[in-house]
């Protein structure tokens, strides 16, 4: 379990933490996947924002075998998480303006930060709601696609040079 003992110090000091996480350990993702082996790479970097705020940048890459909503087979999904999160003390009162500001993503933390949990949260936000194959191999869908359309055949003949 990877933990940062003081997330604010991590940001202030511009520290970097990177490595891999086993998908088998990211349990909240398991229902969405056809298999849970393999791993994801993450890169977490602390920095100070323009207003002096404590920031984290999290990049997560890897391929997740999502369950196709039509045929239930795997749809390989190229994960491309790149989040910038503004650390705020847990229980901090954010103003209405801050809460409504779409350009800022707040992350309330006590001090300690569970990296795997954060990675899991950000992946869940990034995933498509209803993943499915662009050309799904479900039998009924494939049959419909292969049925010969007489008009298409005619059009094809018309297009041919004499
Ligand atoms: Zn499918």
Name the residue range of residue 93's domain: 3-134
Q: 76 alpha carbon to ligand 1 midpoint, in Å?
A: 11
In-domain check, residue 83: yes
Measured between alpha carbons, how far is 19 from 40 in angstroms, rounded to an integer? 8
Asked if the model's pLDDT at residue 48 lies above 70, the reply is yes
Q: 135 alpha carbon to ligand 1 midpoint, in Å?
A: 7
In-domain check, residue 141: no
Give DSSP secondary structure letters for 14-38: T-EEEEEEEGGG-GGGGGGBS---S
Q: What is the DSSP letter of 33?
A: B
Mean pLDDT of the chain: 88
In-domain check, residue 78: yes
Question: And the tokens for 61?
Answer: 């890459």
Specify the number of domains making up the chain: 1
Q: 118 alpha carbon to ligand 1 midpoint, in Å?
A: 29
What would the pLDDT profile of 21-43 be if each residue is shown by its tens digit? 999 999 999 999 999 999 999 99
Residues around ligand 1, an ion, CB closer than 5 A: 68, 70-71, 133, 136
Contact 21, 116 (CB under 8 A): yes
């Amino acid at each position: 379990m990877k933990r940062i003992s003081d997330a604010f110090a991590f940001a202030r000091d511009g520290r970097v933490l990177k490595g891999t996480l086993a998908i088998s350990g990211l349990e909240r993702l398991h229902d969405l996947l056809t298999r849970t082996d393999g791993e994801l790479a993450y890169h977490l970097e602390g920095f100070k924002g323009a207003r002096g705020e404590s920031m984290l940048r999290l990049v997560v890459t890897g391929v997740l075998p999502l369950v196709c909503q039509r045929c239930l087979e795997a749809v390989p999904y190229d994960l491309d998480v790149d989040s910038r999160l503004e650390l705020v003390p847990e229980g901090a009162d954010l103003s209405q303006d801050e809460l409504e500001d779409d350009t800022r993503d707040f992350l309330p933390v006590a001090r300690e930060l569970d990296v795997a949990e954060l990675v899991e949260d950000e992946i869940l936000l990034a995933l498509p709601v209803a993943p499915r194959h662009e050309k799904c191999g479900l039998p009924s869908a494939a049959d419909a696609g292969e049925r010969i359309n007489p008009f298409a055949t005619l059009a094809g003949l018309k297009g041919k040079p004499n």
